[in-house]
Amino acid sequence: MRPPGARTVGRALTALLVLAVGACASTSARQVASTTGTGQTRATTTAVLPGTGRPPVVVGDKNTPEQFVLGELYEQALAAEGFSVSLNRNIGPIQVTIRALQQGTLSMYPEYIDVWNHQVAGDHRTFTSSHAAYEAGQQFAGRHGLRLLNPTPFGNTEALAVTDYYAITHGLSTVRDLRTLPLLTAGGPPQFKAGGLVALERAYGLSPPAFKILPLGSQYQALSQRIVQAAAVNTTDGDLASGDYRVLSDPRHVLGWGNVVPVVPKTVLQKEGPTFTATVNAVSALLTLSAMRQLNEQVELHVDPATAAAQFLETHGLVPPSG
């Protein structure tokens, strides 16, 4: 271990300090010598971070702004605990990702529980709670040498939103309330009309008199300009942080559960130790729906995902203050 710099009294004392520090290089703390005003030396100890010396960690994320933020959050929090972490962005199709986890080239990545259950586990059941969805996914993961760490409080799913003014004017709080509006025009991408809207009609009897196909990203503009009265959105969209729009609740959760679960091989958890699990879970616990919307809003306003993540983690005490 290279001894930290310190003011010393004479070359002889410097040599003694080098020997003393070298002798304790294998311990979990390093000794730092400083000189007092009277010429006497005193020693302080600084604990080595718990991730120091653990095997390298590769955190992956998918090719979306939200996933870029998630990857940065987990990577930076782990690095602050001393883990040697690298970030692999845009990890590719699910089949490739799972193979990378099993082969050891990927240590963890954040996945949405519905995607995990439907596309990885092949489980297309409708779950009555996020906990039930998580437990089903955990059972599948366990049978394949993997583990799902704690889910985030937020869930990213499709939804219908209206302007806040329109919701107040018409007394809207749930999707079911839209049935009372005879002149309703809904809007969204074609896939929502063929999927989500059909599910909402079956569950709530919602059948808008008109549906307008909207390009991706134009939903909020269409709402504000009154081109449509209800639009398909995602519940973590950054535009929702403004308070100008209201997501109508889906009481039966027919549009699913979108809580994020970090997927990790059991072998990685064993090698990295309990601080690894605790750190990842600590990050996940902070990610409320409001927090995720605000983070996504920052990225939409062209804040770099790494910067947005660093500011968030610093605010919540998971990384040291910058500077």
- In tens, the pLDDT along 183-222 reads 999 999 999 999 999 999 999 999 999 999 999 899 999 9
Are 201 and 221 contacting, i.e. CB atoms less than 8 angstroms apart?
A: no
Residue 124, helix vs strand vs coil = coil
Burial label, 107 (beta-carbon count in 10 A; 0-12, 13-18, 19+): buried
CA end-to-end distance (rounded Å), the chain:
25
What does the alpha-carbon distance between residue 33 and residue 245 come to, in Å, rounded to a whole number? 59
Q: Which of 78, 56, 54, 89 is nearest to 284 (CA)?
A: 78
As annotated, the residues of the chain forming the CATH 3.40.190.10 domain(s) are 57-155+259-315
Residue 142, helix vs strand vs coil = helix
Contacts of 229 (CB under 8 A, 6+ apart): 162, 166, 181, 183, 184, 185, 186, 223
Superfamily of domain 57-155+259-315: Periplasmic binding protein-like II (3.40.190.10)
As annotated, the residues of the chain forming the CATH 3.40.190.120 domain(s) are 158-248
Contacts 24+ apart (CB under 8 A), 86-95: 86/56, 86/57, 86/58, 86/59, 87/58, 87/59, 87/60, 87/61, 88/58, 88/59, 88/60, 88/61, 89/60, 89/61, 89/63, 90/61, 90/62, 90/63, 91/60, 91/61, 91/62, 94/119, 94/120
Helices (H) and strands (E) in the chain, counts: 13, 12
pLDDT tops 70 at residue 84? yes
Count the alpha carbons within 13 Å of 262 in the hemisphere toward its beta carbon.
30
Are 271 and 56 contacting, i.e. CB atoms less than 8 angstroms apart?
A: no
What is the mean predicted confidence (pLDDT) over 138-151? 98
Q: How confident is the model at residue 77 (pLDDT cuts 50, 70, 90)?
A: very high
For domain 158-248, give the fold: D-Maltodextrin-Binding Protein; domain 2 (3.40.190)
What does the alpha-carbon distance between residue 67 and residue 65 come to, in Å, rounded to a whole number? 5
Q: So what's the pLDDT on residue 40?
A: 52
Q: So what's the pLDDT on residue 323?
A: 64
What is the mean predicted confidence (pLDDT) over 172-190? 95
More confident residue, 29 or 183: 183
Q: How confident is the model at residue 18 (pLDDT cuts 50, 70, 90)?
A: very low
Q: So what's the pLDDT on residue 27?
A: 37
For residues 76-91, b (16+ Cβ closer than 10 Å) or e, as one string?
bbbbbbbbebebbeeb
Average model confidence (pLDDT) for the chain?
Answer: 88
Q: So what's the pLDDT on residue 6?
A: 37
pLDDT tops 90 at residue 37? no
What does the alpha-carbon distance between residue 204 and residue 99 come to, in Å, rounded to a whole number? 40
pLDDT tops 80 at residue 31? no
pLDDT tens for 245-271 read 999 999 999 999 999 999 999 999 999
Q: So what's the pLDDT on residue 34?
A: 39
pLDDT tens for 88-120 read 998 989 999 999 999 999 999 999 999 999 999
Q: What percent of the chain has pLDDT over 90?
A: 83
Q: So what's the pLDDT on residue 45?
A: 55
